[in-house]
Structure 1
Amino acid sequence: MITRIFDLLENYRKNFPDKRDAFAKKEKDGWIPFSTEQYLTYSDYISYALLENGIEKNDCVITITNNRPEWNFVDMGLAQIGAVHVPLYPTINTKSYDYIILQCQPVAIFVANHVLYEKIAPLLNNHPSVKFVYSFEKIKSVAHWSRLLEIGEKAENKMQKELLAIKDSIQPDDLVTIIYTSGTTGNPKGVMLSHSNFISNVLASAASLNLDSSHKTLSFLPINHVYERMVNYQYQYKGISIYYAESMDTIGDNLRELKPHGFATVPRLLEKVYDKIMAKGKSQPFLKKAIFLWAVNLGQKYELNRANGWWYEFKLKIARKLVFSKWQEALGGNIKFMCSGGAPLQIRLERLFWAAGIPVQEGYGLTETSPIISANQNSYPNVRFGTVGPVLKGVEVKIAEDGEILVRGPNVMLGYYKNPELTKEVLEEDGWFHTGDIGCWEDERFLKITDRKKEMFKTSGGIYIAPQEIENRLKESPFIDQSIVCGEFKRFPSVIISPDFVFLKEYCRRKKIPFESADQIIYNQKIQVRIWKEIQKMNVNLDRPKKIKSFRLVPHVWTPETGELSPTLKLKRTVLKIKYQLIIEEIYS
């Protein structure tokens, strides 16, 4: 029975002993697979080596790396000895690393490469708890992770009984990891999750995943994030091969090369895929362009369960053959599922991908809920466009009087690390967790998210504004990459927009508008008027007091690296409001 994370290893031994590509990574010479036997052996060797080095139960160990098979060997090696895995984003700043290291006092740190080592190296003198540093790639002055395999192999006879005793002592409710949220405001929060938090989520969600050990997936979302990490455990439970993308920039190439059967993603990446497809389709000769746009318009009217009738289905069959088959080829041609989470998915994209024969399953959850609370399935009647699906088996959800979503179940966190006061603010004594999200039910079964409780604000006229809903609609425009709605305690809502400069440059070329630079084009009167038209399209669907009355364009592209977005591509509202404080003041002056 699987009740602890490392029980997945025994599941491999029992059900998938001969699997040759449990994991794979891409290097210059091609894809390098790692078999079930290697996974089992390396995980044990890591455990033996860590014990030999004096690392004990409840000690914290940090990993800072991109997605790679070695992460799993360390993850399981730590879980088996009861150590606490603290995975961190490679993209966070030095200040955040310093804060986290100080709070969790790790005894060891694993880094991917010399770039990440150089980020943390200046901090190590201030943190005496760190006794060991290892790297996954070979770099000077740092022990390579393969050294642990050597130590573990030599220590096997000595440590085997001790490891078995430790594993037997570990309970499902024991702490297994601390996952630090990205911290859109203030310092990161350490979310404490147990073995049973993860495993309950894995078993409940795996039941609806229609893949098996003959299939393979591509992993590219950060594995240190709770979403991709849980999905990785889910794949392992079902024996699905996991191939790790080289980088976010190579996803398209990796999809076409591997032809995987599915992957987890976030809406922003699907939006980028859609934008590229649309740009390519609109650049076709007249006849092909007309057929392309006809298929897209048809797809945006798609309804589940053949609800549009036989004539629509006949036209859709033609559209799939002439146009949408090429979309499938662009994703490798074998996609059976895509699960999307982390932010709201535009309904038009949901309909369009389903129409193309590529089901997108939108789900909902938080780090504090390990993460899935609800999720759409990949077949009718367990899917509803515009919602985040039915609640996961074993999880309870209720809507509070103010509209906030409350959750209770085996997936709810143990609490925030070294922060009992904050834990009490969100976790009631009877187990109900306050998500901070506002939602409602559709047909008393499908959960729908309307906004973040903390992100909603009032204008000076007392009108509540849900910014996320407006921002998501604005992103449907090819002219708009990102936006932030402002106006708390002001007379009206306004918006600051970071345009999609790739699309804008092509648009300017077609319209013969000079495009010298981003700084120059945002002040062009024709561009200002064109983007205002896009805002007006969105305004049509809003009540009069909620309509956007003013906007400003900025010449900056918002990314996690430049600090405006979190690693999961969510807006850092506090950062943005500080950065554009003068612009906001000018709007309302």
Structure 2
Amino acid sequence: MLNKINLDKQTYEVPNSKKPGQSGIYRNAQITELLETFSPKVKTMYDVFLAGHSLSKDSPCVGHRTVNAAGQRGPYVWETYHQVNHRILDFGSGVMNLLNHTLNEPRTKGIPIGLWSVNRPEWLISDMACAAFGLYTVALYDTLGPNAVEYVVNHSEMETVICSGDHITDLLKLKEQLPNLKAIISLDPIGDDNKRVTPGSVSTAAVLKAWAEEKKVLLTDMATLEANGKKNRRSVASTQPEDLACLMYTSGTTGNPKGVMLTHRNFVSAVAGSYYSLGGYQSDTTISFLPLAHIFGKINDCVALAFGSRIGYFAGDMNTLTDDIQELKPTVMAAVPRLLNRIYGKIASSTINAPGVVGSLARRGVAAKLENLANKNGYTHPVWDHLLFNKVKQALGGNMRLIVTGSAPIGKDIMQFLRVALCCDIREGYGATETTAATACHIEGEYEAGHLGAPFAENEVMLVDVPEMDYLSTDPYPRGEICVRGPNVFQGYFKEEEKTREAIDEEGWFHTGDIGTINERGCLIIIDRKKNIFKLAQGEYIAPEKIENVYSKDTLVAQIFVHGDSLQSSLVAVLVPEEEALKSFLAAKSPKFAKLSHGELCKDPEVAQLVLNQLNKVGKKAGLHGFELARAVYLEEEQFTMEKDLLTPTLKVKRPQAKKYYEDKIAAMYDQINNQPTKAKL
């Protein structure tokens, strides 16, 4: 049943669903029945594409930027839905012919296929080809190190990998550690290029082919298989909703990645929830840059396909994303807080933080628009947009109507500022790989920030007591661990029965590890984290991820690691500052800092103290207790990276590794704290 949107009552509590130790069961108040699909005809991932195809046969589907001989990027070129469908069927047929006839694979469906590339049209074509022919993909992150690649390839038992040309050598180097690897399919041509090299030299293609042959790996490319499939077309598989669509590896901060088993039913229901909650138009243009090996990026593209809209892929370099946006002029974008913080910093510096008349005018305009937004009158204003903000919104191409942000919390003030400055709808969402990304999100017309809106209509949410942290469903507003149930919840962890039982209970509830509450408007709010909890020396429980999320809402923070242990009574932090934000912050403090380089600023004790003061100002405003505030901070000039083994593939800090890497810095901070006079301690 589709009810009218009521921003003051966004969730519906299922009658008689409350039990001892848990809250009632909450559902989306607009659509109270759990959704399986957005159309009776759509039951699989390929059906999602066909739904868009039926709307937009000869309209653009996927686009990429051209590159001239000098390496300069040109305009976007497009392939229509009709053309993409032919490529899906041709390539899928070619892959099946390769598996069954060349590699003597007896199975005709349910075969894992690796997929390793940055976002590009061929990624989507490969993914949909696998879906159409009953195969399932296993995404390899483009930035995975060799150890993780080796683990995922072997653990998933994949024998065939589809990859961009730059990863062919990576796989061949690892062949001795990948005993099951039989075939590599390059998304880029690897045909004979002898005609383009110096006479007497050997072509790159010839070297790769010889190397692959030596390793007993069949090496071919997409174009070859498409041509083969066109001549020897196969019938699409009779795929069922419960068939596996994707094995997506996700890792916590310790141990090996876990293979999350996601079915076609999971994906279709998640797309359905997004379809109704977020909406869309056939005329939309989405920019795809969030990694398609991550669930957020993949669902974003699937939703675009469901509406028959177009997807423009970024050129592969985050440093030139702004140029891609200016060229594409998208209407829809999925983003993460770190990117939005950077956008905020650039816009704020030229508007509200600008000197003189410009800054004064911008501050008045922002204040008027924020008041307008708080009064439920939306993010546009006839006077101030004409005077100022129609120019500001050109920062994202000028056509942006919807931005969905997720993966981490975003600061309230930053979100509200961007809503009015960019004159567009910005919604914060919440999900996990295990819930196929779509758990909860702001609904249309949302005028506040600092919450996660209502559950998507394909799942329901419940809060379970966490008595050791004093979070109870009997509190005035129920509090507890967020649990999710619905057709979007994963089937389990591949080959990990014990971990699956820990994550999904007997009633089908996925236990997220996040602590949440439901506010007076029926909106979900994350207030803490159950996992990675430790005690300080005085016995106080600490959830470092919660504190990191609070601090990360400040634009100064690019990356942060908060540390403490049971032998110490306080916390310390290692922080990688956003360079431009740090310069702007310090410029307002004293002109003397302008003479110092970024590296010198990070080493300056006075700068560290100023940054620490700002962090704890943010922390106090967010309601952190005194014992949850960092007492010292080390400013790290260089980014946390996977190469340093400090980040997981999903860019979360690896806590044990970070503790070891910064062992000396952590010890020095505690020496500094413990040698302070007692009266200076919090």
- The reply to whether TM is greater than 0.5 is yes
2:171 to 116, 120, 123: 120
2:75 aligned with 1:30: yes
SS at 1:461 equivalent: coil
Counterpart contact for 2:113–2:159, Cα < 8 Å: yes
Is 1:179 the counterpart of 2:242? The answer is no
1:368-396 alpha-carbon deviations (Å, 9 max, x no partner): 1112111112314xx65211110111311
Look up the SS of the partner of 2:50 in the other structure.
helix
In structure 2, what is the equivalent of residue 14 of structure 1? Answer: 54
Which residue of the other structure, out of 328, 349, 359, is the alignment partner of 1:279? Answer: 349
Shift of 1:405: 0.7
Is the 2:161–2:183 contact (alpha carbons within 8 Å) kept by the matching residues of 1? yes
1:445/1:462 CA distance change after superposition, 3 Å: same
Name 1:535's counterpart in structure 2. Answer: 615
Change (3 A) 1:107 1:212: same
Offset of residue 204 of structure 1: 1.8
Aligned partner (choices 441, 445, 448) of residue 379 of structure 1: 445
Which of 433, 440, 443 matches 1:367? 433
The percent identity for this pair of structures is 30
Letter in 2 for 1:487: G
Equivalent in the alignment of 2:150 = 98
Q: Tell me the residue number matched to 1:448.
A: 525
SS of residue matched to 2:630: coil
Structure 1 residues 194 and 343, CA, compared in 2 at 3 Å: closer, same or farther?
A: same
Q: Which residue of 1 aligns with 2:214?
A: none
TM-score (norm 2): 0.79
| Equivalent AA in structure 1 for residue 434 of structure 2 | E
Alignment of 1:269-418 (within 5 A): 269-281=339-351, 284-296=354-366, 303-306=373-376, 318-356=383-421, 357-380=423-446, 384-402=448-466, 403-418=480-495
TM-aligned CA deviation for residue 39 of structure 1 = 1.4
Match of 2:658 in 1: 576
Distance 1:462 1:147, change over 3 A: same
The 1:243–1:144 alpha-carbon spacing in structure 2 relative to 1, beyond 3 Å, is same
**Structure 1 residue matching 2:559: 3-state secondary structure:** strand
Task: From 621, 635, 640, give the equivalent of 1:553.
Answer: 635
Closer/same/farther in 2, CA of residues 282 and 497 from structure 1, 3 Å limit: same
Out of 559, 574, 578, which is 1:496 matched to? 574
Aligned to 2:124: 72
The AA in structure 2 aligned to 1:27 is T
SS of residue in 1 equivalent to 2:359: helix
Q: Given the superposition, is the C-alpha separation of residues 522 and 73 from structure 1 closer, same or farther in structure 2, using an over 3 Å criterion?
A: closer
Q: What is the CA–CA distance in structure 1 between the aligned matches of 2:240 and 2:562, rounded to whole Å? A: 46
Within 2, Cα distance between the matches of 1:200 and 1:540? 40
Amino acid at match of 1:349: I
| Counterpart Cα distance in 1 of 2:424 and 2:51 | 30
Q: What CA distance in whole angstroms lies between the structure 1 residues aligned with 2:408 and 2:486?
A: 22
CA distance in 2, matches of 1:406, 1:47: 38
Q: Greater CA deviation, 244-253 or 285-294?
A: 285-294
| Separation in structure 2 between the aligned mates of residue 12 and residue 282 of structure 1, nearest angstrom | 42
- Tell me, in whole angstroms, the C-alpha distance in 2 between the residues paired with 1:354 and 1:229: 25
Contact 1:438–1:451, Cα closer than 8 Å, also in 2? yes
Give SS of 1:306's match.
Answer: coil
CA deviations over 1:31-87 (Å, ceiling 9, x no partner): 221111211111111221122111531211101001111112111211122212111
Match of 2:276 among 207, 216, 236: 207
Q: Deviations over 1:99-148 (max 9, x none)?
A: 1111112121111122x222222112332422211112234234221111
- Which stretch of the first structure deviates more once superposed, 129-138 or 234-243? 129-138
CA distance in 2, matches of 1:461, 1:324: 51
1:304, 1:500 → 2: CA distance? 30
- 1:254 equivalenced with 2:324 (yes/no): yes
1:538 counterpart letter in structure 2: V
**Which AA in structure 1 matches 2:130?**
L
Distance 1:265 1:566, change over 3 A: farther
Equivalent residues of 2:598, 2:637 under 8 A apart: yes
Deviation by residue 1:173-200 (Cα, 9 ceiling, x = unmatched): 1111100114432211100000000001
Secondary structure of the corresponding residue to residue 40 of structure 1? helix
Checking the alignment, whether the CA contact within 8 Å between 1:223 and 1:229 is kept in structure 2 is: yes
- What residue in structure 2 maps to residue 588 of structure 1? 670
**TM-score when normalising by structure 1:** 0.91
Q: Is the 8 A contact 1:85 1:177 kept in 2?
A: yes
Give me the whole-angstrom Cα distance separating, in 1, the residues matched to 2:578 and 2:49.
45
Q: Secondary structure at the match of 1:513?
A: helix
Q: Is 1:434 the counterpart of 2:511 in the alignment?
A: yes
CA distance in 2 between partners of 1:172 and 1:243 (Å): 28
Tell me how far 1:358 sits from its aligned partner: 1.8
**1:477, CA displacement in angstroms?**
4.1
> Which gives a bigger RCO, structure 1 or 2 (Cα 8 Å, sep 6+)?
2
Higher-Rg structure is: 2
1:495 is displaced (CA, Å) by 1.9
Q: 1:240: which partner in 2? A: 309
The 8 Å contact of residues 353 and 359 in structure 1, kept in 2 or not, is answered as no
Structure 2 unaligned spans of 5+: 1-40, 68-73, 191-204, 209-218, 467-479, 672-682
Counterpart CA distance in 1 for 2:544 and 2:439 is 23
- Give the match for residue 219 of structure 1: 288
Provide the residue aligned with 1:231 in structure 2: 300
Matched letter for residue 485 of structure 2 = R
Whichever residue aligns with residue 491 of structure 1, its letter is: S
Larger deviation: 508-517 or 120-129? 508-517
Matched pairs, number? 572
On the 8 A contact 2:459/2:486 being kept in 1, the answer is yes
2:601 paired residue among 511, 518, 521: 521
Measure, in 1, the Cα distance between the counterparts of 2:268 and 2:601: 51
- SS for the counterpart of 2:451 is coil
In structure 2, the partner of 1:487 is 564
SS at match of 1:231: helix
Distance (Å, rounded) in 2 between the aligned partners of 1:197 and 1:479 = 38
CA deviation after TM superposition for structure 1 residue 401, in Å:
0.5
The Cα shift of 1:506 comes to: 6.0
Q: Which amino acid aligns with 2:557?
A: I
Structure 1 residues 297, 483: closer, same or farther in 2, change over 3 A?
Answer: farther
Quick one: distance in 2 between partners of 1:400 and 1:283?
Answer: 44
Q: How many angstroms apart in 2 are the aligned matches of 1:488 and 1:12? A: 53
Contact map agreement 2:561 2:575 (CA 8 A) in 1: yes
Counterparts of 2:171 and 2:116, CA distance in 1: 10
| Displacement of 1:262 | 0.9
Which letter does structure 2 place at the counterpart of 1:138? P
- RMSD over equivalenced CA pairs, Å: 2.5
Q: Is the 8 A contact 2:419 2:426 kept in 1?
A: yes
Alignment partners' CA distance in 1, 2:462 and 2:49 = 36
Give distance in 2, aligned partners of 1:529 and 1:587: 12
Q: How does 1:78-157 map to 2 (within 5 A)?
A: 78-114=130-166, 116-139=167-190, 140=205, 141=208, 142-156=219-233
